[in-house]
Homo-oligomer: A and B are copies of this chain.
Protein backbone atom coordinates (compact mmCIF):
# COMPACT_ATOMS: atom_id res chain seq x y z
CA UNK A 1 0.00 0.00 0.00
CA UNK A 2 1.49 3.29 -1.07
CA UNK A 3 -0.89 5.09 1.30
CA UNK A 4 0.60 3.26 4.22
CA UNK A 5 4.04 4.26 3.09
CA UNK A 6 3.00 7.88 2.80
CA UNK A 7 1.61 7.79 6.32
CA UNK A 8 4.88 6.40 7.59
CA UNK A 9 6.89 8.91 5.63
CA UNK A 10 5.00 11.74 7.29
CA UNK A 11 6.20 10.75 10.70
CA UNK A 12 8.56 13.37 11.89
CA UNK A 13 8.12 15.32 8.71
CA UNK A 14 4.88 16.91 9.85
CA UNK A 15 6.55 18.13 13.00
CA UNK A 16 9.11 19.80 10.77
CA UNK A 17 6.39 21.29 8.60
CA UNK A 18 4.63 22.78 11.59
CA UNK A 19 7.82 24.43 12.76
CA UNK A 20 8.49 25.65 9.24
CA UNK A 21 5.09 27.27 9.00
CA UNK A 22 5.51 28.91 12.39
CA UNK A 23 8.91 30.22 11.32
CA UNK A 24 6.96 32.59 9.07
CA UNK A 25 5.05 33.97 12.02
CA UNK A 26 2.63 32.92 14.70
CA UNK A 27 -0.43 30.88 13.83
CA UNK A 28 -3.02 28.62 15.43
CA UNK A 29 -3.94 24.99 14.97
CA UNK A 30 -6.91 25.35 12.74
CA UNK A 31 -5.03 27.68 10.43
CA UNK A 32 -1.99 25.44 10.28
CA UNK A 33 -4.21 22.57 9.22
CA UNK A 34 -5.57 24.72 6.42
CA UNK A 35 -2.13 25.92 5.40
CA UNK A 36 -0.60 22.45 5.23
CA UNK A 37 -3.65 21.05 3.47
CA UNK A 38 -3.02 23.43 0.60
CA UNK A 39 -0.47 20.84 -0.43
CA UNK A 40 -1.92 17.47 -1.22
CA UNK A 41 1.12 15.74 0.19
CA UNK A 42 0.57 17.39 3.55
CA UNK A 43 -3.19 17.14 3.73
CA UNK A 44 -3.93 16.75 7.42
CA UNK A 45 -6.69 17.00 10.00
CA UNK A 46 -6.80 18.44 13.47
CA UNK A 47 -6.24 15.06 15.06
CA UNK A 48 -2.80 15.08 13.50
CA UNK A 49 -1.79 18.66 14.14
CA UNK A 50 -3.00 19.31 17.66
CA UNK A 51 -1.01 16.51 19.26
CA UNK A 52 2.07 17.78 17.44
CA UNK A 53 1.50 21.31 18.71
CA UNK A 54 0.96 20.04 22.23
CA UNK A 55 4.15 18.03 22.07
CA UNK A 56 6.22 20.86 20.63
CA UNK A 57 4.90 23.15 23.29
CA UNK A 58 5.70 20.72 26.04
CA UNK A 59 9.22 20.42 24.68
CA UNK A 60 9.44 24.21 24.89
CA UNK A 61 9.87 24.69 21.18
CA UNK A 62 6.66 26.68 21.00
CA UNK A 63 5.04 29.31 23.15
CA UNK A 64 1.36 30.06 23.37
CA UNK A 65 -0.83 33.14 23.33
CA UNK A 66 -4.58 32.84 23.72
CA UNK A 67 -6.57 35.36 21.71
CA UNK A 68 -10.35 35.51 21.97
CA UNK A 69 -11.59 35.84 18.41
CA UNK A 70 -15.07 37.28 18.38
CA UNK A 71 -15.97 34.52 15.97
CA UNK A 72 -15.93 31.11 17.58
CA UNK A 73 -13.79 29.69 20.36
CA UNK A 74 -10.65 31.38 21.60
CA UNK A 75 -7.72 31.01 19.26
CA UNK A 76 -4.53 29.58 20.64
CA UNK A 77 -1.66 31.18 18.77
CA UNK A 78 1.66 29.36 18.66
CA UNK A 79 5.06 30.82 17.87
CA UNK A 80 8.63 29.59 17.93
CA UNK A 81 10.75 30.02 21.03
CA UNK A 82 14.49 30.55 20.83
CA UNK A 83 15.23 26.85 21.17
CA UNK A 84 12.44 26.18 18.73
CA UNK A 85 14.37 28.10 16.10
CA UNK A 86 17.52 26.18 16.94
CA UNK A 87 15.60 22.97 16.66
CA UNK A 88 14.28 23.91 13.26
CA UNK A 89 17.79 24.76 12.11
CA UNK A 90 19.00 21.35 13.26
CA UNK A 91 16.19 19.72 11.37
CA UNK A 92 17.00 21.62 8.22
CA UNK A 93 20.58 20.54 8.57
CA UNK A 94 19.64 16.93 9.05
CA UNK A 95 17.27 16.92 6.12
CA UNK A 96 19.97 18.36 3.95
CA UNK A 97 22.31 15.55 4.92
CA UNK A 98 19.64 13.00 4.14
CA UNK A 99 19.20 14.60 0.76
CA UNK A 100 22.90 14.31 0.10
CA UNK A 101 23.02 10.71 1.29
CA UNK A 102 20.17 9.75 -1.02
CA UNK A 103 21.97 11.29 -3.96
CA UNK A 104 24.99 9.16 -3.15
CA UNK A 105 22.82 6.08 -2.80
CA UNK A 106 21.49 6.60 -6.28
CA UNK A 107 24.91 6.99 -7.87
CA UNK A 108 27.46 5.14 -5.76
CA UNK A 109 31.04 6.49 -5.63
CA UNK A 110 32.28 3.88 -8.05
CA UNK A 111 33.35 1.23 -5.60
CA UNK A 112 35.07 -0.86 -8.28
CA UNK A 113 36.20 0.01 -11.79
CA UNK A 114 37.70 -3.41 -12.32
CA UNK A 115 41.20 -2.58 -11.15
CA UNK A 116 42.73 -0.10 -8.81
CA UNK A 117 45.40 -0.17 -6.20
CA UNK A 118 46.00 2.57 -3.69
CA UNK A 119 43.54 4.09 -1.23
CB within 8 Å of B: which residues of A?
2, 5-13, 15-17, 20-21, 23-24, 35-36, 39-42, 87, 90-91, 94, 97-98, 101-102, 104-106, 108
Contact = CB atoms under 8 A, between A and B. Distances in A.
Contacts of A97: 40-41
Contact of A20 (B7, B13, B17, B102): B102
11 contacts: A2-B90, A2-B94, A5-B91, A8-B11, A9-B11, A9-B98, A20-B106, A24-B108, A41-B101, A42-B98, A42-B101
Given A94-B41, A105-B39, A5 B15 contact: yes
A104 to B, nearest CB: 7
Contact of A9 (B12, B23, B105, B108): B12
A35 B20 CA distance: 32
A101 to B, nearest CB: 4
A17 B105 contact: yes
